[in-house]
Amino acid sequence: MDAFIHGFLLAFGLILPMGIQNIFIFNQGLTQSSYKKALPAIITASVCDTVLIIIAVSFLHLIADFFESVQGILMIGGFFFLLYIGWSIWHSSVTGNEATPPVPAKKQIIFALSVSLLNPHALLDTIGVLGTNSLPYHNEAKWLFMIAAIIVSWLYFFLLGFIGKVVGQLSENIGWRKRFNQASALMIWGLAFYMLFLI
C-alpha cells in the first residue's frame, strides 16, 4: 500500500496546478449546456493520461531516450500549438449578449488529444516524475503505483469538469465568463513563451 499511496499523492501533486489540460477541461464544464456534453473532453484526457502513465511506468528507458532525441522539436511545436489554443480560447469569449456555441464533441476530442499528447510539460511530468518514481517498485507494487496515478487522473478530470459546470450554473454573468476566457488565454500564452525560454 505504500506504493499506492506514493503514486496517488505524487499524481495528485502533479495534476493539481492549473495547466493547459486542466483549463481546457474546466472550460468545457463551464461552457457546455450539460455536464454530459463535456464528457468527450473529460474521457479523452483521462484515457490519454492513462496511456502515458502506463508507458512511462512500464517503458521508462525507451520513452525517455526517444523524448530526449525529439525534445527540441516537441518544444517548438508545443510553443506554436499553445499560441493557437490561447487564440482559440480568447476568441471563444462571449461577445455582446450571446455566447459562442459550445465546442462540439469531435472538436473536444481533438483538442483534448492535443493538450494531452502534444504538451511537452505533461510528457515531462509523466516520464520524468511518475516514471522515475516508479523505478524502486517491482511486480505488484509497481502495478499499485501505476493504478493509483491513473485513478487520480480519472477522478480529477471528472471532478474538474463538474466544478466547471457548477460554476457556470452559479454565474450566468457573460462579462465574468469573458474575463475568465481571456485570463485562461493569457495564462496559456505565458506557458508558451516559458516553454520557448526553456529550449
Tell me the CA end-to-end span of the chain in Å, nearest whole number: 39
Closest to 191 (Cα-Cα) out of 115, 128, 129: 115
The pLDDT value given to residue 195 = 61
Residue numbers of the chain with a pLDDT score lower than 50: 95-100
String of DSSP letters for 114-143: HHHHS-HHHHHIIIIIIIHHTTT--THHHH
Contact 161, 24 (CB under 8 A): no
Contact 37, 102 (CB under 8 A): yes
Query: Distance between CA atoms of 30 and 56, rounded to whole angstroms?
Result: 31
pLDDT of residue 31: 82
Type of residue numbered 65: D
Grid cell listed for 29: 464544464
Domain residues for the domain of 20 are 2-198
Residue 125: what pLDDT? Answer: 73
143 by Cβ neighbours in 10 Å (0-12 / 13-18 / 19+) ranks as middle
pLDDT of residue 198: 57
SS (H, E, C) 157-199: HHHHHHHHHHHHHHCCCHHHHHHHHHHHHHHHHHHHHHHHHHC
In the chain, the number of structural domains is 1
Give the model's pLDDT for residue 65: 65
